[in-house]
A and B are shown apart, each in its own frame.
Chain A
Amino acid sequence: MKITSRKIGLISCSGEDLPEGTISRVATRRILEQRDDTVTICLPLFLAGGQGERDFAKENPCITVDGCEKMCAAVGVKKYGGVTPRSSIVVSEIVGRLKWPKPTSKSKIAAEDEELVRKTMKIIDERIKIVKEGKD
């Protein structure tokens, strides 16, 4: 179904204990600042917040951006929102698919990892287009 009015929910894992979590966080935040058709929620609010927070994924078609194969954001949307994300992106899969070196820094985006952030942003943008056009 083509989406005309609702905003796209972007949910990042922002995992603290791995560099891919920092990539997911920064790429997601940059997209949020560039596009006014997206909205986000802090993932841990699904547990810490109330029903209003848990309904976020029902009210906004969601794209999850996870750092690793545990896919906390995607699992969180299903567990608390009761819906499947419209699209799921995993940074470690991008790294593997492109055969790029793994990012190394959790605390900042190293210069050599900027390209990975940009690639992740490009994929998020593409998925937003697909979801908005109802082609997912």
Chain B
Amino acid sequence: MSEKRSKHIIIPCSGIGKGVGTVARRATYIVTDEILPRETETTCLPLLTIEDKEAVEKVRTNPCITIDGCIAQCAKKNVEYHRGNLKAAINVLDVLKQNAGLKPGTVLDIGPDGEKLANKIADTIAKIIGDTN
């Protein structure tokens, strides 16, 4: 019987007020649906906010990578609050600083630059997971 390997849990903030929140969400789906579907999954961040037991257990027993859109760092802080296994925390604003030419669009349409940013973040996460494994 093969041992079940833990999956990396990718958790975006999904901020509804700014385009960078959608960039975080999009980057998550690029990782979980396209690049590393077998090694990763996501969970609903609001479940952590309401202290759902199953979600809390998941972030404690699997390595987590958070993606935040703003300085409030909701995803990181929610995981830390529950003493989750936080492997890495990415902030879209830091990636924006490194790619000053990219201007993400709106919450509902992040546009081509937002897509590029999301892909850069997704690549960074894939590298982190590759280095971990």
Contacts and interface: CB of A to CB of B under 8 A. Distances in A.
Nearest to A15: B44
Interface stretch (B15-23, B87-95, B96-104): B15-23
Contacts, number: 97
A48 B50 contact: no
Interface string A26-53: 1011101100000010111111110000
B114 interface: no
Chain B residues touching A, range: 20 to 34
A13 B45 CA distance: 9
Given A15-B46, A16-B42, A44 B16 contact: no
22 contacts: A15-B47, A16-B14, A16-B43, A17-B44, A21-B44, A25-B16, A29-B16, A29-B107, A32-B16, A42-B14, A42-B21, A42-B72, A43-B49, A44-B46, A44-B74, A44-B75, A44-B77, A48-B73, A48-B74, A49-B72, A73-B46, A75-B50
